Structure 1
Amino acid sequence: MNPPRAIAHPSQEGKYLKNPLLGGAGGLSEVIAKVRCTLISFALEELIRTRKKRNLLDLSGQIQFSTDYDYKALRTNRNVSD
C-alpha cells in the first residue's frame, strides 16, 4: 500500500508510519516528542539540513584559490574595510 502524498489529519499519520520507527527516532532526538507531528517536523528539518550539508561537501576540491590568497591575513584584518 502506498502512503498518500499528504496526511489529511494528524490522527491518521499512524496508519502510514511504523510505531517502532517513531519510537526509535523519539529516543534518539533531543526533542521530547509528545506529539508525533513535532517529531515528524524535526525529522524533516534534519533531513533538509543534512542534504544541504551534503551538497556543500560535493564542492570539495572544486574551488581553486589564487596563489597569492592569504587566509591568515584576512583573519587579522576582519574589521578593516577596503
Structure 2
Amino acid sequence: MSRTVIDLDDEALEAAARELGTTTKRDTINTALREITARYRRLRALENSRQLVADGALDIDILLDKTRYRP
C-alpha cells in the first residue's frame, strides 16, 4: 500500500461515503477505486458479449432460457 498526499473535494468525498456506506476517507477512496474498476470490467464484459452475439458466436436466447439450466 502506498501513501499519497492529495487535495480532495470534501463534498464529493462525503457524497461518495454516503453512497458506499463507508465511514473513513481511506475506506471511501479504496472502496470507490475498487467499485469503479469492477464497473468498467463489467462494462467491457458486456460489450464483449454483445459483440459475440452480433458475430453469431453466442446465442443469447439459449442463455435466457432458464429451463435449460434450472430444473
Q: State, as a whole percentage, how many aligned pairs show the same letter.
A: 13
**RMSD of equivalent CA atoms:** 2.9
TM-score by length of 1: 0.57
The two structures have a TM-score, normalised by structure 2, of: 0.64
Structure of greater Rg? 1
8 Å CA contact 2:17, 2:28 repeated in 1: yes
Task: Name the count of aligned residue pairs.
Answer: 63
- What does residue range 2-81 of structure 1 map to in structure 2 within 5 Å? 7=4, 12=5, 15-29=6-20, 31-33=21-23, 35-59=24-48, 60-63=50-53, 64-65=56-57, 75=69
- Which is richer in helix? 2
**CA 1:50 to 1:66, structure 2 compared with 1: closer, same or farther past 3 Å?**
closer
Q: Residue 61 of structure 1: CA displacement? A: 3.9
